[in-house]
Amino acid sequence: MKKHKISPSQWTLFGLSLIAVLVLAAVLFRGTGGERIKPAAPVRAGEEPSATAPARESKSVQLFFLSEDDNYLHPEKREIPAGPSVVEEADLTIRELIRGSDKGYISPLPPETKLRQLFVTKDGTAYVDFSREIMEKHPSGSSAELATVYSIVNTLAFNFKPIKKVFILVEGSEKETLGGHINLSRPFVPLFSLNAR
Amino acid sequence: MIALNRTTAKRLAFFSLLFFSLLAISSAQPTLQVSAEDHDGYNRAIVAVPFSLPFELEKDGNLLLVRLTSRVSFRLRTEPVKSRLIKGLSWAKTNNLYIIIIEARHERFRYDSFKVENKNQLVIDFYELAAPPAPQEKAAEAQPAPPAAEEKKEPPAPQDLIPVEGDPLAAKGIRTIVIDPGHGGLEYGAKGKFGTLEKDITLAVSLRLRTLIEKNLAYHVELTRDRDMDVSLENRAAIANNHRAELFISVHANSSYRSKASGSETFFLSLNATDEDSRRLAYLENNSADLEKPLSSKDQDDIQMILWDMAQSAYLKQSQRLAEIIQDELNALLGTRDRGIKQAPFKVLTGVACPAVLVESAFISNPQEERELAQAAFQENVAQAIYRGLVRYIKLLS
């Protein structure tokens, strides 16, 4: 008699809920699949570096700036929230570099510049995509362009071992130069000889 | 949602990157187009290049070799051959020399060539000769237009080299120095506090330098611009290569974020070489013999891309020497602070296929040097210093 308790309508209900569960599982699974890929891109939702770091450990990085006294790039220590991956840390570091020096060094990046995107490919190339101001507000000139490029490249390569070369993009695409001099159409390897000792 | 947007944005960035690099590759590669087609009484081959180039023709058995020298690398495009006499088209290349091989079905032909100037085409007409009876070979050579090939066309072409004039100066053995006044037009370069523009200084110095060279040296000077106009960085290199320049001097005025920065410096190219680049260069060095054989078209594209990309890499040692000598003269004559010679990845130097340097005379961003740069006397001194450097370098070579 008990067997008769499962009516056809109950079967249908059971079938439907099974499908629903499967669909839900598939959606969730795909969701987590996406999450797994995500660490290649900055995960932070907020634009302010401090917004995401309530209880996170901090990491100290060296930013490289110009000094009025010589032609070298000078390190300045800065604390940033640590992790979760190199990409997030590199992203924050570049934002700090744009923000400029606390010690009176000269920042060779126009302060209006925004970091649009930063990602690191498997072969260790960091693609750093800046807003148009990095070109439009740039004073041009060989020395000025070299300073801009190598403060970015040396800062990234000095602090992050996985970053071997840096490709500078502007508004999402490859540009010839910032102001008519230094070639941006190839990735840069760091030039640590420019760093002050 | 944000994560999703970022992923999409990242993909977009990747694709736009891919797109732009493909665009760059395709635009950096001029095409050399060869076609062959039969006409009434003759078989015509046409070699079309994007700009005027010197050609040489040589008949070798059943082959006709078209040699052309270009420091710019080409991509070859052949059209299907529609000819009774011409069997096939292929090519080979070494660094500067391209050899287009037109293969005929037999060696009994003569040819005639002319250039269509406005189209940069070399037109070669083939006339089939009657199969000569065995002993008459001498006669056939003396009278290369036997009845079978009778045409209104005039005297037969000699069978050895016919130099077809491309760059008239190079053909006459006149040597060229290309001077590149930095910036120009809307792109004015750096700007001083008093409003001095880099593009004006570079032009003024370059014009003075041209006068000095043409007055005193047996060199022709070609300027990448002789007035205030825009010239792309790639075209500046192309101008040097198309004129088969022996030396390339790019004249600039420096600018720094540091207002105190002062002095002059001379740059030569740094490749900014990654491991991958070093591998490519090593490949080229190890396989230069292979380059003399005809390559499959796919290989050709790869290899020429590298050659174009790194034209300057073959001249780095000479460029360094030239930079040292010019810097030495700048120090002696200017009294500005010596910042030495440096290596940097300058876009304008990468494609230049001869010793090439970029001279930063002084800092337009330094108010005192800006004032000096604007003075005729200082400009003349800069030109003099570069000129003396050139003279010393040329002497060193000879």
Q: What is the pLDDT of residues B94-140, one digit of tens each?
A: 667 778 888 888 888 888 888 877 777 888 888 888 776 654 444 44
Measured from the Cβ of residue A18, the count of other Cβ atoms closer than 10 Å reads 10
Question: Could you say which of B131, B166, B201 is where a domain stops?
Answer: B166
Q: Place B281 in a pLDDT band, splitting at 50, 70 and 90.
A: low
From the centroid of its chain, how far is CA B371?
A: 36
Task: Examine residue B336 and state whether it is found in any structural domain, yes or no.
Answer: yes
Establish if B252 touches chain A: CB-CB under 8 angstroms: yes
> Considering CB atoms only, which of A38, A71, A189 is closest to B272?
A189
Between chains, do B347 and A182 touch, taking CB under 8 Å as contact?
yes
Backbone dihedral angles phi then psi of residue B232, each to the nearest 5 degrees: -70, 155
Is the pLDDT score of A39 beyond 60? no
- Give pLDDT, residue B13: 56
**What would the 3-class secondary structure string for chain A be?**
CHHHHCCHHHHHHHHHHHHHHHHHHHHHHHHHHHHHHHHHCCCCCCCCHHHHCCCCCEEEEEEEEECCCCCCEEEEEEEEECCCCHHHHHHHHHHHHHHCCCCCCECCCCCCCCEEEEEECCCCEEEEEECCHHHHCCCCCHHHHHHHHHHHHHHHHHHCCCCCEEEEEECCEECCCCCCCECCCCCECCCHHHECC
Q: Place B156 in a pLDDT band, splitting at 50, 70 and 90.
A: very low
Does B41 share its domain with B156?
yes
**Residue in A143, A170, A188, A193 to test binding to B, most B beta-carbons within 10 Å:** A143
> Considering CB atoms only, which of B7, B9, B255 is closest to A143?
B255
Is the pLDDT score of B145 beyond 80? no
Q: Find the domain containing B324 and state its range.
A: 169-271+310-397
Question: Could you say which of B144, B166, B188 is where a domain stops?
Answer: B166
Lowest mean pLDDT among A9-23, A154-168, B173-187, B229-243: A9-23
Establish if A176 touches chain B: CB-CB under 8 angstroms: yes
**CATH number for position B198:** 3.40.630.40
Question: Where exactly are the structural domains of chain A?
Answer: 54-194
Question: CA neighbours within 13 Å on the CB side: how many for B207?
Answer: 10
Lowest mean pLDDT among A23-27, B1-5, B268-272, B325-329: B1-5
Between chains, do A172 and B12 touch, taking CB under 8 Å as contact?
yes
Residue B83, helix vs strand vs coil: coil
**CATH number for position B124:** 2.60.40.3500
Does B47 share its domain with B173?
no
Is the pLDDT score of A45 beyond 80? no
- Give pLDDT, residue A4: 53
- Give pLDDT, residue A109: 96
Lowest mean pLDDT among A177-191, B20-34, B41-55: B20-34
Q: How many domains does chain B have?
A: 2
Q: Please name the residues between 56 and 85 in chain A that touch chain B, using a CB distance below 8 Å.
A: 66-68, 71
- pLDDT tens, position by position, B103-114: 888 888 888 888
Establish if A126 touches chain B: CB-CB under 8 angstroms: no
- pLDDT tens, position by position, A1-22: 444 556 666 666 666 676 766 6
Q: Place B339 in a pLDDT band, splitting at 50, 70 and 90.
A: confident
In A, minimum Cα distance to B183 occurs at A180
- Give pLDDT, residue B23: 46
Does B139 share its domain with B44?
yes
Percent of chain B residues past pLDDT 70, beyond the cut: 71
Measured from the Cβ of residue A161, the count of other Cβ atoms closer than 10 Å reads 9
Establish if A140 touches chain B: CB-CB under 8 angstroms: yes
- In residues, how long is chain A? 197
For residue A24 the two structure tokens come to 């839900």
- pLDDT tens, position by position, B304-319: 433 455 688 888 889 9
Does B203 share its domain with B228?
yes
Is the pLDDT score of B148 beyond 60? no
> Considering CB atoms only, which of B10, B21, B252 is closest to A41?
B10
**How far does A163 lie from chain B, in Å, by closest CA?**
13
For residue A190, the chain B residues in CB contact (below 8 A) are none
- Give pLDDT, residue B382: 96
Is the pLDDT score of A95 beyond 90? yes
Q: DSSP labels for B341-352?
A: EEEE-BHHHHT-
Q: Place B398 in a pLDDT band, splitting at 50, 70 and 90.
A: confident
**How far does B16 lie from chain A, in Å, by closest CA?**
6
> Considering CB atoms only, which of A38, A165, A172 is closest to B3?
A38
**How far does A84 lie from chain B, in Å, by closest CA?**
15
Does B56 share its domain with B123?
yes
Quick one: which of A181, A195, A169 has its CA closest to A94? A169
d(CA A145, CA A156): 17
Does B109 share its domain with B241?
no
Does B242 share its domain with B117?
no
From the centroid of its chain, how far is CA A86?
A: 8
Question: Could you say which of B133, B166, B199 is where a domain stops?
Answer: B166
Q: What is the mean pLDDT of the segment spanning A71-90?
A: 93
Task: Examine residue B281 and state whether it is found in any structural domain, yes or no.
Answer: no
Lowest mean pLDDT among A120-124, B52-56, B160-164, B206-210: B160-164
- Give pLDDT, residue B5: 58
Q: Place A114 in a pLDDT band, splitting at 50, 70 and 90.
A: very high
Residue, of B20 and B37, whose pLDDT is higher: B37
Q: What is the mean pLDDT of the segment spanning B2-12?
A: 56
Q: Place B34 in a pLDDT band, splitting at 50, 70 and 90.
A: confident
Is the pLDDT score of B337 beyond 90? no
- Give pLDDT, residue B282: 52
- The identity of residue B243, as a single letter, is H
Does B145 share its domain with B249?
no
- pLDDT tens, position by position, B55-85: 888 888 888 888 887 777 777 777 777 788 8
Question: CA neighbours within 13 Å on the CB side: how many for B134?
Answer: 0
E strand residue ranges, B182-293: 219-223, 247-254, 264-269
For residue A127, the chain B residues in CB contact (below 8 A) are 13, 17
Is the pLDDT score of A102 beyond 90? yes
